[in-house]
Amino acid sequence: MNAANWLKRTGAAALAAGAMVVIVFMSQVPWLGPGSEGSELRVSWRMPAPSLRHCRPPTEAELEGVPGHMRPGEICNEETVPFGLIVLIDGDTLHAGPAWHPGRRARTLAVYERFPLPAGSHALEVSFVPDSPRVDAASPQMDSVQALATTLSARVVAAPGDVVLVTRNDNGRLVMPPTGPGPP
Amino acid sequence: MLKRPFTRMLARLDGWADRLYGWKWNPLYQSGAIAVLCLAVMLVTGIYLLFFYRIGAPHESIVRIDAQPLGGRWIRSLHRYAADLAVAAAVVHALRMFFQGRSWGPRALAWVSGVFLLFLLYVCGWTGYVMVWDVQGQLLATEGARLLDALPIFSEPVSRTFAGADPLPSAFFFMNLFLHIAIPVGLVIFLWLHVSRVARPVLLPPRPLLWATVGLLAAAAVLLPAPVAQAANLLRIPAEVPLDLFYAFWLPWLRNTPAPAAWLAGTLLVAVLATVPILARPRKDRRPAPSVVSTRLCTACHQCEADCPYDAIRMVERTDGRGGMVAWVNPSHCVSCGICAGSCAPMGVGPPGRTGRDQLARVRDFVAGDAFRAGAIVVVACGRSGGAERGPSNARRASPDSDRAGEGPARFEVSCAGNLHTSVVEYLVRAGARGVLVVACPPRDCSGREGPKWLVERLYHEREAELKARVDRRRVHVAHASAFDPRSVDRALGEFADELARLESPAGEDAIRIDTDCEVPEGAGGDDAGAGPHGPPGVVSRLLPSALFRRWPAGAGRTKAGSE
Ligand code: HEM
Ligand code: SF4
Ligand code: SF4
């Protein structure tokens, strides 16, 4: 092999090795992810959807043609009660809107919201309340629905990368479980 | 509008890589095959990793694999780097196909299935990183869930799974693992679809390149193993994330982009990619017409059917009362590469204007014209190769004297080296050309896929329609040069002129051993496998596989090999 060929082969090998090193580097580029900037307030839980049941006697027209043993004593329908979520941080309203519910007939209500939270100490207030304008306040079952309403007021200290989690415990109260290090 | 500069840039890159690696081992020409190779490496290493992966403790199991004394870390890194190289190779391959105009018409199926292949490769990569359940996997999962929640299809927010309020269900890791294993099955199916329209798809690179690629990946895995990143913690927002740019380049952008905007951008990108076969299609009047068979001339020899790189030709019953079979071109499969024209001895098939007969008519005019000089070398060039008259490399070189042979060769162009009918070569030699140098693209870069391969077989290997025995093959050489590689053409011309000078010298007959078999000594052909002409005998013959010469005793009467 002459010198020129040797040089060419070395160049070819070096280029291939260089390309591989670039691939290795691109495979693990250090990136200062979102956790370096601030923290996050996360509100999340799942519960049976609060609902109101409306019943009435069937009309003549509804009973027509139905055999006697199959005639219902009353006709009921169930309506999901919309709930709202209100989040205040240091007195400022961060969110006031309906909690996620998929539709009037769904059996579960899942709440999931995330809010950026500047690092530091904050007064936090999270309320979960029936969405009053849309609720039949006169219903006798309204008391049990109202009982689901709950509010959490707390002072939190958040460092960059922290997640402040607000969830609902088995007793129906809003709580902040400790979010210490270690995988959940 | 941007296509031309990019095409020139890619062709220039090809030229450089050709000079460094030689056209046989230029990895740019093998990008599709390298992507397949990477998939194979991922499959083998993936099966090994699967034995040690635990759904119940994903990150811990990865840490344990990493600590294995028997190289678990290397195998994991090999799996990962092969996945990265697969994306890089697939993107290079797709760009090449686009800029070579191989994205529309009968190739639309390959293009669209290619887009799906790339998409599946991405999803497979994302599920792979989620399997590791490190900080990058966490971000991929949470951002993916955020995107899904923007679609009105779920009864509950998917993101709630990653809220951190409850432990992650192992069903999630099971589903993810299932996807990571099932997607490669989809990849294989799409790969089959991808190459279903091409005959004899080349699925792996040539062996030296194959082992060099595997060796490089293995060396990187051993010398620069991929570290295991910090475990995911849903109650911490990841701060320092080692980002795999091949799979997660979009994460930094997505973090600050509302989900609907991200969906819009993604949908637009996929829509543009999927409609390239329509967007990149030339105007109707500029589209090359598919091949046509002259039923009068066809002798039903099956050769065009065997040679067509796109399986576009079938033999069918004759309907003209003559009985027997006749070739039939399926116009929706024909890419108009013209290779069948070179296969047909009676010149009965080819795209309009490029059949053997059309070429003969053109070469007659060429010989009668001013450019042709008896006693000089003629260059017959593929219009896309470095030998093309109007090609980028020669258009800039005003003086024909810049050719080393000093002869300023006349150039006769064909649309593809495989389109060239051997009778054109014979016509030129008989008209008094000192020699004919056919300049073809590097074989793996042929836009018709198999042009240079069939050309060499027809010239030297008695493939139908072969160069007739009466033509002195010592006056016919083949060189391979990509569009921006005029130096290879110069060098080939120089070497060819030297060969011819030796042949024409009184001692020439002895010097080139015309009365012996042109056997190539074992081990020859390694050093300058890059550029240069080939064709027996002499220096250039070292570039061809010896099998090509063994059955060719110069001057001896030859039997036809017939169709394959
Ligand atoms: C994992 C990804 C991919 C693999 C493994 C792959 C592999 C291949 C292989 C082996 C061939 C046959 C080459 C030959 O024998 O000539 C091929 C052809 C082709 N590929 Fe891909 N490919 C991939 C992705 C893509 C993408 C993303 C595109 C474009 C969007 C694409 C477009 C094409 C086209 C148009 C052809 C046909 C070329 C022709 O007919 O001339 N491929 N691919
Ligand atoms: S190569 Fe020519 S003769 Fe042979 S089958 Fe094809 S068209 Fe007919
Ligand atoms: S032009 Fe090419 S694709 Fe069309 S039939 Fe001939 S060989 Fe096949």
**pLDDT, tens digit (0-9, with 9 covering 90-100), for A29-70:** 999 888 887 899 999 998 888 888 888 888 888 888 888 888
Backbone angles phi, psi at B420, to 5 degrees: -60, 125
Report d(CA A114, CA B159) in Å as an integer.
10
Q: What is the pLDDT of residues A154-184, one digit of tens each?
A: 999 999 999 999 999 989 899 998 765 444 4
Report d(CA B453, CA A29) in Å as an integer.
43
Query: B557 lies in a domain?
Result: no
Does B459 or B541 have the greater pLDDT score?
B459
Under the banding of pLDDT at 50, 70 and 90, the label for residue B71 is: confident
How many CA atoms within 13 Å lie on the side-chain side of B73? Answer: 16
Residues with CB under 6 A from ligand 2: B 293, 298-304, 327, 343-344, 346, 348-349
Q: What is the CATH number of the domain that holds B270?
A: 1.20.810.10
Q: Domain check: are B71 and B213 in the same one? A: yes
Does B538 or B249 have the greater pLDDT score?
B249
Q: Are B89 and B38 in contact (CB under 8 A)?
A: yes
Average pLDDT over residues B267-290: 95
pLDDT at residue A135 is higher than 50: yes
Report d(CA B364, CA B344) in Å as an integer.
19
Q: How is residue A28 written in tokens?
A: 């693990």
Instruction: Look at residues B200, B27, B36 and name the one whose alpha carbon lies nearest to residue B114.
Output: B36
Report d(CA B357, CA B196) in Å as an integer.
32
Q: What is the pLDDT of residue B548?
A: 33
Number of domains in chain B: 2
Residues with CB under 6 A from ligand 3: B 290-291, 308, 310, 312-313, 329, 334-340, 351
User: B257: which residues sit within 8 A by CB, 6+ positions away?
Assistant: B265
Query: B314 lies in a domain?
Result: no
Q: What is the pLDDT of residue B441?
A: 94
The ligand minimizing its distance to the Cα of B120 is 1
Does B53 or B549 have the greater pLDDT score?
B53
According to the per-residue pLDDT averaged within each range, which of A77-91, A128-142, B56-70, B175-189 is highest? B175-189
Query: B98 lies in a domain?
Result: yes
Q: Domain check: are B252 and B371 in the same one? A: no
Comparing CB atoms, the residue among A8, A45, A112 nearest residue B20 is A8
Q: Domain check: are B529 and B434 in the same one? A: yes
Instruction: Look at residues B73, B34, B78, B21 and name the one whose alpha carbon lies nearest to residue B52.
Output: B73
Q: How is residue B68 written in tokens?
A: 């294995």
**Which 8-state DSSP code applies to residue A134?**
G
Q: Domain check: are B36 and B181 in the same one? A: yes
- Cβ-Cβ contacts under 8 Å, B165 against chain A: 44-45, 165, 167, 177
Under the banding of pLDDT at 50, 70 and 90, the label for residue A109 is: confident
For a pLDDT cut of 70, what percent of chain B falls above it?
Answer: 86
Do strands B292-293 and A83-89 pair parallel, antiparallel, or not at all (unpaired)? unpaired
Q: Domain check: are B377 and B262 in the same one? A: no
Average pLDDT over residues B87-93: 98
Q: Domain check: are B377 and B526 in the same one? A: yes
Q: What is the pLDDT of residues B496-535, one digit of tens each?
A: 999 999 998 876 555 554 443 333 333 333 333 333 344 4
pLDDT at residue B300 is higher than 80: yes
Q: Give me the sign of the Cα torsion angle B403, B404, B408, B412.
A: negative
Q: Domain check: are B227 and B363 in the same one? A: no
Backbone angles phi, psi at B562, to 5 degrees: 75, -175
Q: What is the pLDDT of residues B346-373, one digit of tens each?
A: 999 999 999 999 999 999 999 999 999 9
User: B423: which residues sit within 8 A by CB, 6+ positions away?
Assistant: B347, B356, B359, B360, B465
Q: What is the pLDDT of residue B505?
A: 85
Q: How far is A27 from chain B (nearest CA, A)?
A: 4
Q: What is the pLDDT of residue B372?
A: 93
Q: What is the pLDDT of residue B536?
A: 39
Q: What is the ipTM of this complex?
A: 0.85
Q: What is the pLDDT of residues B392-450, one digit of tens each?
A: 555 444 333 334 334 468 999 999 999 999 999 999 999 999 999 999 999 999 999 99
* Strand order from edge to edge, sheet including A150-158: A92-98, A83-89, A120-130, A150-158
Under the banding of pLDDT at 50, 70 and 90, the label for residue B331 is: very high
Ligand 3 pocket test, pick from B292, B294, B335 with the greatest ligand atom count within 8 Å of Cβ, gives B335
For a pLDDT cut of 70, what percent of chain A falls above it?
Answer: 88
Q: What is the pLDDT of residue A153?
A: 94
Average pLDDT over residues B158-183: 94
Q: Domain check: are B360 and B266 in the same one? A: no
Question: How does DSSP assign A11-54, residue by residue?
Answer: HHHHHHHHHHHHHHHHTTEEEE-GGGT-EEEEEEEEEEPPEEEE
For a pLDDT cut of 90, what percent of chain B falls above it?
Answer: 75
Q: Is A123 on the interface with B (CB under 8 A)?
A: no
Domain span at residue B269 reads 26-235+245-279
Q: Domain check: are B372 and B251 in the same one? A: no
Average pLDDT over residues B38-61: 96
Which of B223, B257, B279 lies at the terminal end of a domain, its last residue? B279
Does B422 or B551 have the greater pLDDT score?
B422
Query: B97 lies in a domain?
Result: yes
Q: Is B60 on the interface with A (CB under 8 A)?
A: no
Q: Domain check: are B253 and B379 in the same one? A: no
Q: How many CB pairs under 8 A join A and B?
A: 148
Query: B6 lies in a domain?
Result: no
Q: What is the pLDDT of residue B214?
A: 98
**For atom 8 of ligand 2, which residue has the closest CA?**
B298
Q: What is the number of residues in chain A?
A: 184
Query: B292 lies in a domain?
Result: no
pLDDT at residue B377 is higher than 50: yes
Q: What is the pLDDT of residue B50?
A: 96
Q: What is the pLDDT of residues B438-482, one digit of tens each?
A: 999 999 999 999 999 999 999 999 999 999 999 999 999 999 998
How far is residue B176 from each of residues A118, B52, B127, B134, measured CA to CA in Å? Answer: 34, 16, 6, 14
Residue with tokens 């079979």: B325
Q: What is the pLDDT of residue B19?
A: 87
Which of B257, B279, B301 lies at the terminal end of a domain, its last residue? B279
**If you measure from the C-alpha of residue B480 to the centroid of ligand 2, how many angstroms do you get, rounded to a whole number?**
28
Comparing CB atoms, the residue among B27, B216, B244 nearest residue A28 is B244
Q: Are A184 and B167 in contact (CB under 8 A)?
A: yes
Q: Do B242 and A30 touch (CB under 8 A)?
A: yes
Q: Do A32 and B164 touch (CB under 8 A)?
A: no
Q: What is the pLDDT of residue A104?
A: 55
Q: What is the pLDDT of residue A132?
A: 61
Query: B224 lies in a domain?
Result: yes
Q: Do A20 and B226 touch (CB under 8 A)?
A: no
Q: Domain check: are B253 and B356 in the same one? A: no
Report d(CA B312, CA B330) in Å as an integer.
5
The ligand minimizing its distance to the Cα of B313 is 3
Average pLDDT over residues B368-385: 93
Query: B284 lies in a domain?
Result: no
Q: How far is B239 from chain A (nearest CA, A)?
A: 4
